[in-house]
Structures are given as C-alpha cells and as structure tokens.
C-alpha cells in the first residue's frame, strides 16, 4: 500500500518552488483522506470529494499547475496496479477543483481591489469621487460594498459624491449614500454631436 510519506517524497521531487513545498505540506491531511478511500475511489463520491479538497488546498496555497498535474501520477507511481479505474477520475476531480478555486481566488482579488478606501479619491473637505466598478453579478456582495463605501465616506465627513462605474454599482451606491445622508451628484449628460 502506498504510504503518505512515499507520496509526499515523490511530490517533493516534483516541486518547482517554495510555494509548491508549502502546498505539499498543507495538503497532507487531505491527501491522507484520499489514501483512506483509495480502494473505493471509482464508486465512492466521498473519495472523489477528497481529490477535490486536495485541488482546493493546492489552489489556496498557490501551488503551481505543474505540481497539481503531478499529484495523481505521484500516487500512481506508488501503486501502479491499484490505479486502474480511479486515476482518470481523480485527475479530473483535482484539476477541476484547482481551476475552480483559482477562479474564485481571482474574483476575490478583483473585488478587494474595488473595496473602500481604494475606490475613493477625496476632492475637497466634503466631496469625494468614487470608482463604482465593483463586480455586480452578486447583489448581496454589491450591497455590502456600497454600504461599506457609504459608511467610510460618512466617517470621512463627505457630504457629496461623484461616482462613475457600472449602472448596478452606481444604483447600489446611490441607495447606500442616501441612507448615510450623502448626496450623489448626477452624472453629466454626454454631449451629442
């Protein structure tokens, strides 16, 4: 039977960076769970779920795609005859989870870039400009963003705001600003030629 230590050693040889080495360590308990359910990996939903957890842990730890591609093969090298049936499903599960987690992490980075106070420029003692381009596909997140911005502006003593951005973000900001008693300047009309 493959041991966690053998699997870890094979992955350590495949690591291409310090992040990979940290990811290998961080994924140890998830990989141990995979080993416990390895024999039933084809039919067992929990076994495939274990591979998705490994993929997410590796993404959270910023592992390289090269390391992720090696995880299943490193285990297969330890148990070549036992790999029939589960290796293909395991590869799919780990890669799908890794890619999905990377997308989620990137979406959070984008949101973070638009959070208060990064989206605000103070224009004078009581006026500010707001870049209202927070990603607007999640209405609840957009509402939290606009409430955070309005609250921060009120604490700064801002009484009037100029905002440019998406229609949904501007509308959410307008609602939050009105509750905070802050005036949202109308958008200038574009001139027609």
Whether 2 shows a pLDDT value over 60: the answer reads no
pLDDT at position 177 is 97
Q: Tell whether 70 and 160 lie within a shared domain.
A: no
Number of domains in the chain: 2
Q: Tell whether 95 and 134 lie within a shared domain.
A: no
Q: Tell whether 142 and 57 lie within a shared domain.
A: no
Q: Please tell me the pTM assigned to this model.
A: 0.72
Domain-located, residue 193: no
Q: Tell whether 15 and 107 lie within a shared domain.
A: yes
Over the stretch 60-106, which tens digit does the pLDDT of each residue have? 999 999 999 999 999 988 776 666 678 888 899 999 999 999 999 99
Over the stretch 118-151, which tens digit does the pLDDT of each residue have? 999 999 999 999 999 998 788 999 999 999 999 9
**Strand ranges for the chain from DSSP E:** 120-122, 127-132, 160-165, 183-184
DSSP character for 126? S
Q: Tell whether 103 and 163 lie within a shared domain.
A: no
Domain span including residue 164: 120-184
Query: Domain end: 62, 88, 112, which one?
Result: 112
- Write the CB contacts of 179 (distance below 8 Å, at least 6 apart in sequence): 150
Query: Domain end: 112, 142, 157, which one?
Result: 112
The interaxial angle of helices 139-155 and 167-180, nearest 10 deg, is 40
Q: Tell whether 124 and 101 lie within a shared domain.
A: no
Q: Tell whether 130 and 180 lie within a shared domain.
A: yes
């Amino acid at each position: 039977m493959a041991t966690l230590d053998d699997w870890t050693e094979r992955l350590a040889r495949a690591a291409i960076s310090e992040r990979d080495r940290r990811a290998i360590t961080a994924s140890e308990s998830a990989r141990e769970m995979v080993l416990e359910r390895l024999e039933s990996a084809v039919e067992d939903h929990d076994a495939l779920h274990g591979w998705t957890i490994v993929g997410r842990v590796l993404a959270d730890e910023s592992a390289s795609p090269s390391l992720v591609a090696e995880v299943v093969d490193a285990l297969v090298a330890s148990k070549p005859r036992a790999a029939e049936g589960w290796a293909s499903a395991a590869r799919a599960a780990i890669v799908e989870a890794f890619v999905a987690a990377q997308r989620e992490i990137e979406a959070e980075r984008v949101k973070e870039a638009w959070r208060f106070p990064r989206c605000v420029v103070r224009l004078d003692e009581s006026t500010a400009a707001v870049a209202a381009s927070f990603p607007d596909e999640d209405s609840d997140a957009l509402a939290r963003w606009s409430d955070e911005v309005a609250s921060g502006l009120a604490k700064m003593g801002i009484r009037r705001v100029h905002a440019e951005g998406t229609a949904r973000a501007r509308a959410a900001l307008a609602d939050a600003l009105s509750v905070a008693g802050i005036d949202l300047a109308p958008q200038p009309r574009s001139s027609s030629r």
